[in-house]
Amino acid sequence: MNQKFKIYIKHAYDNTLDLKLTKDAFKLIMSGKINDTQISSFLSLLQRSGIQPHHIIGALDVMRAKMNVVKSPKKSMDTCGTGGDGKNSLNVSTATAFVLAACGIPIAKHGNRALTSKCGSADVLKALKINIDMNISKIESCLKKIGICFMFAPNHHPAMKYVANVRQQLGIRTIFNMLGPLLNPAKVRNQIVGVYSKDVFEIYKKIFEKENKNVCLISGFDGNDEISLDGSNLLFTRKNGEFYFDPRDFDFPKTIKKEIIGKNAEFNANRILEIFSGKKDSFYYTVCINSVFGIMLNNSEKINKNRIYKAMKEVEKTIKSQEPLRMIRKLSEFTNS
């Protein structure tokens, strides 16, 4: 039991954790000197009290200083979202990453195993026979030669091992769900990021504005952490500012729930292969619309109706060509060579 850390637990309980205290608390957590019980108490109380932008900034400063960095092309993009929306949906951001890579956008995908869901990006990629455990030199080569790479969070944030067990035991979202998309080891400037609530959206918006990143930030309809087909989604981009987008205005079909719900890694992997092999269902259309916004983000375009339709044609043409399927095969071959 670390006596000093009790101070930070009390501040989390009293909702008086300022920027300096947050940094100090995370330095201790990431040093491995704090036991699981104290970490669990701290994370749970911080979540209950309400995470503020200065909590995120303080934790980021500590985490980025310990991060194993990957070199990447200038216009590389990540599709990593927060997760934690409790929907147990299929791996939309991972499937979207393959579509965007197939469109010629360099994708430096950051992700982890399932912590608050049934199947994380690392789980589904392993089920697709992709080796997620590579050294930095091979990851950089993979991004350069294949056009997409996966950076397994624990390999790039080794200090995360001190909280991994607690996160799995808690099974609830914590500040670490919010940190993930902000800790891309390739330091990408282009990001399409889905978050699980409007409160988190506001926090991310402030951070992204401060860091001057080229982002498409999404708070999906009904708490989804990606663009949902079923209603009005809150979005933010540098060119458009804050706005609402409803796919129903563009004749997208409403979601059939059983077509978007995920199960284990093998099931989710098979569903990705299905939509890349010609199956058109709710998962297909959800991946399409999220990919559309990735294309417009890459082009640094102001979003309007004509550009949405144009990007949609490109996405559907790309999937029909089966290039995302070939991208999966090439990534599997390269990572296992």
| Tens digits of pLDDT across the chain (337 residues) | 889 999 999 999 999 999 999 999 999 999 999 999 999 999 999 999 999 999 999 999 999 999 999 999 999 999 998 876 778 899 999 999 999 999 999 999 999 887 666 799 999 999 999 999 999 999 999 999 999 999 999 999 999 899 989 988 988 889 988 898 999 999 999 999 999 899 999 999 999 988 888 999 999 999 999 999 999 999 999 999 999 999 999 999 999 999 999 999 999 999 999 999 999 999 999 999 999 999 999 999 899 999 999 999 999 999 999 999 999 999 999 999 9
Of 65, 86, 113, which marks where a domain is finished?
A: 65
Q: What is the pLDDT of residue 204?
A: 94
Domain contains 44: yes
Task: Enumerate the β-bridge partners of residue 86.
Answer: none
Amino acid at site 116? T
Q: What is the pLDDT of residue 1?
A: 80
Is the dihedral angle over the CA atoms 292, 113, 225, 286 positive or is it negative?
positive
Identify whether residues 21 and 126 lie together within a single domain. no
Domain contains 170: no
Domain contains 316: yes
Identify whether residues 11 and 127 lie together within a single domain. no
Q: What is the pLDDT of residue 166?
A: 94
Identify whether residues 118 and 151 lie together within a single domain. yes
Name 189's Cβ contacts closer than 8 Å, sequence gap at least 6: 74, 75, 76, 213, 214
Identify whether residues 185 and 212 lie together within a single domain. yes
Of 18, 37, 65, which marks where a domain is finished?
A: 65
Of 33, 65, 97, which marks where a domain is finished?
A: 65
Q: What is the DSSP string of 233-298?
A: EEEEETTTEEEEE-GGGGTPPPP-GGGTB--SHHHHHHHHHHHTTT--SHHHHHHHHHHHHHHHHH
Identify whether residues 200 and 307 lie together within a single domain. yes
CATH of the domain at 44: 1.20.970.10
Domain contains 71: no
Task: Enumerate the β-bridge partners of residue 191.
Answer: 78, 215
Under 8 Å between Cβ of 327 and 109: no
Identify whether residues 247 and 211 lie together within a single domain. yes
CA-angle at 240, arms to 173 and 107, nearest 5°: 55
Q: What is the pLDDT of residue 2?
A: 87
Q: What is the pLDDT of residue 115?
A: 67
> How far is residue 96's CA from residue 178's CA, in Å, rounded to a whole number?
20
Please provide the size of the chain in residues. Answer: 337
CATH of the domain at 278: 3.40.1030.10
Identify whether residues 13 and 129 lie together within a single domain. no
Q: pTM score, two decimals?
A: 0.93
Identify whether residues 203 and 60 lie together within a single domain. no
Domain contains 164: no
Identify whether residues 22 and 120 lie together within a single domain. no
Domain contains 286: yes
Identify whether residues 26 and 103 lie together within a single domain. no
Name 11's Cβ contacts closer than 8 Å, sequence gap at least 6: 17, 21, 25
Note down the domain range covering 46.
Answer: 5-65
Domain contains 169: no
Identify whether residues 58 and 81 lie together within a single domain. no
Q: Give the count of domains, the chain.
A: 2
Identify whether residues 16 and 132 lie together within a single domain. no
